[in-house]
Amino acid sequence: MTASNVSGQGTDSALFPTYARYPIALVKGEGSRLWDANGKCYLDFMSGLAVTNLGHAPKQVRDRLVEQLDTLWHVSNLFHIPQQEEAAKLLVKHSCADAVFFCNSGAEANEAAIKLARRYQNVIAGTGRTEIITFQQSFHGRTLATLTATGQDKVKDGFAPLPEGFRYAPFNDKDALLQAINHNTGAIMLEMIQAEGGVNLLDPAFAELIAQCCEEHGLLLIVDEVQTGMGRTGRWFAHEHYGLEPDIITSAKGLGSGFPVGAMLAKAKLREAFGPGSHGSTFGGTPLAMAAVIGTLLAHEEEELAKRADEMGQYLVQQLHAKIGAMSIVKEIRGLGLLIGIECHAPVAGMLAAAQAVGLLFVTAGPNVIRLLPNLKVTKEEIDEAIEVLVHVLESAEVTV
Ligand SMILES: Cc1ncc(COP(=O)(O)O)c(C=O)c1O
């Protein structure tokens, strides 16, 4: 590598320095393993940030993509796209939703959700109540509306003026939620686990209050399942753990197993809020993207991957408690399924680098939280291997704290 700037890219890079990149270039992936340009092998416990839920290059998705590549890549949404119907029917089958809109990313799915909620309240329900309550520490994306919805100042820095229509409440604080609801509130939007925000789990009693408030005040419930969906937490969607029935669900990341695709799912009463011309996307739901989605969803069905995530998640947490739970550096182990956070009493950036050096990849969730996101087909042996590395890096960190 040549001289590098703050992002870790060479100063001769033609890219924007938008990412603080690790000094590794990954060139090949298979299952839970990745290889860098020097042939070094890594055990992948980050899955491209909860994207490659089926592991790298899963055959079911690959075969469908290859077949579609040989047939038709793209047609405009001005035409019927049978693969979109098939993918949407599968999503409806595995959720409480009745209608699906396909887009290309998590932020776009949330953008669609915000637009749909506003349009429903303005045009269908006629209430004119358009303010959306979101939560501190949430993360909903990087477009102007979704970064405004996000409850973290760092993503908003320098981007004023921001769109109006959002109010922020502390997560899991019942009194604050009740105070935040006013005559202009139209929806509540949240993640079931604030993944980027620190692996913060929704409190079941708070979930119950949210459901009650939505019912009582005619509010729409928008659940951002971009990271928690697609089997990651041990259910198809994480809100199932809480017995919630959202009006709108957003999905992306694991939906295409690495092919970029997002989706917004909604209840039947919201269908008419988006008529022809009210929303759209050139690339949303192309035959190629739909091949990835159908392949992914069928693999989930065949292999019962949500159930597997539940079982492997339980094993992972049990082993973490047994092997690192008593260490003084470990504050808390929390999560659902295969979205696990290890909160430490010290910053974890050095531990991440130490793990990478010995071939284990994970991510952080804020300065003090290690976030584990293995693929849903991870084996017990791979979990044991990852924990061995974690024990080693946590022990070393304990000595230096
Ligand atoms: C909960 C949540 N919502 C939205 C997003 C944004 O998704 P994307 O990066 O695909 O736009 C993310 C990305 O990390 C996320 O975790």
Convert the pLDDT of each residue in 84-115 to its tens digit.
999 999 999 999 999 999 999 999 999 999 99
3 C-alpha to ligand 1 centroid (Å): 31
11 or 205, greater pLDDT: 205
SS3 at position 63: helix
Confidence of residue 210 (pLDDT cuts 50, 70, 90): very high
* Probe target for ligand 1 pocket from 108, 111, 139, 143, with the most ligand atoms within 8 Å of CB: 139
Confidence of residue 2 (pLDDT cuts 50, 70, 90): very low
232 C-alpha to ligand 1 centroid (Å): 14
**Average pLDDT, stretch 194-213?**
98
Q: For 179-215, give one letter per residue: b (16+ CB within 10 A) or e.
A: ebbeeebbbbbbbbbbbbbbbbbbeeebbebbbebbe
pLDDT of 270 strictly over 70: yes
Which is the closest atom of ligand 1 to the Cα of 108? 11
Average pLDDT, the chain: 96
SS3 at position 147: helix
Q: Report yes or no: 284 and 104 within 8 Å, Cβ to Cβ.
A: yes
197 C-alpha to ligand 1 centroid (Å): 11
Protein residue with its CA nearest to atom 4 in ligand 1: 140
Confidence of residue 21 (pLDDT cuts 50, 70, 90): very high
- Residue 377 confidence (pLDDT): 98
Dist. CA 254–CA 352, nearest whole Å: 23
Pocket lining: 232 vs ligand 1, CB cutoff 6 Å: no
46 C-alpha to ligand 1 centroid (Å): 14
- Inter-axis angle of helices 287-303 and 305-324, nearest 10: 70
Cis peptide before 161 (omega within 30 of 0): yes
- Residue 3 confidence (pLDDT): 44
* Probe target for ligand 1 pocket from 226, 233, 264, with the most ligand atoms within 8 Å of CB: 226
Among the listed residues 362, 251, 373, the one whose alpha carbon sits nearest the alpha carbon of residue 309:
373
308 C-alpha to ligand 1 centroid (Å): 24
Which is the closest atom of ligand 1 to the Cα of 105? 10
Surface-to-core class of residue 84, CB atoms within 10 Å of its CB (0-12 exposed, 13-18 middle, 19+ buried): buried
Query: Using alpha carbons only, how large is the chain's radius of gyration in Å?
Result: 21
Confidence of residue 7 (pLDDT cuts 50, 70, 90): low
Pocket lining: 111 vs ligand 1, CB cutoff 6 Å: no
Protein residue with its CA nearest to atom 3 in ligand 1: 140
Pocket lining: 222 vs ligand 1, CB cutoff 6 Å: no
Among the listed residues 138, 218, 139, the one whose alpha carbon sits nearest the alpha carbon of residue 171:
138
Pocket lining: 196 vs ligand 1, CB cutoff 6 Å: yes
Dist. CA 4–CA 90, nearest whole Å: 46
Pocket lining: 140 vs ligand 1, CB cutoff 6 Å: yes
**Residue with tokens 């159908």, as numbered in its chain:** 294
- Chain-centroid distance of CA 360 in Å reads 21
- Residue 1 confidence (pLDDT): 41
23-43 residue pLDDT tens: 999 999 999 999 999 999 999
pLDDT of 217 strictly over 60: yes
Percent of the chain predicted with pLDDT > 70? 97
343 C-alpha to ligand 1 centroid (Å): 21
230 C-alpha to ligand 1 centroid (Å): 14
Q: How many CA atoms lie within 13 A of 31 on its CB side?
A: 8
Pocket lining: 195 vs ligand 1, CB cutoff 6 Å: yes
In angstroms, what CA-CA distances link 221 with 4, 9, 105, 138, 356? 45, 41, 20, 15, 39
Long-range contacts of 20-27 (CB under 8 A, 24+ apart): 22/353, 22/356, 24/356
223 or 6, greater pLDDT: 223
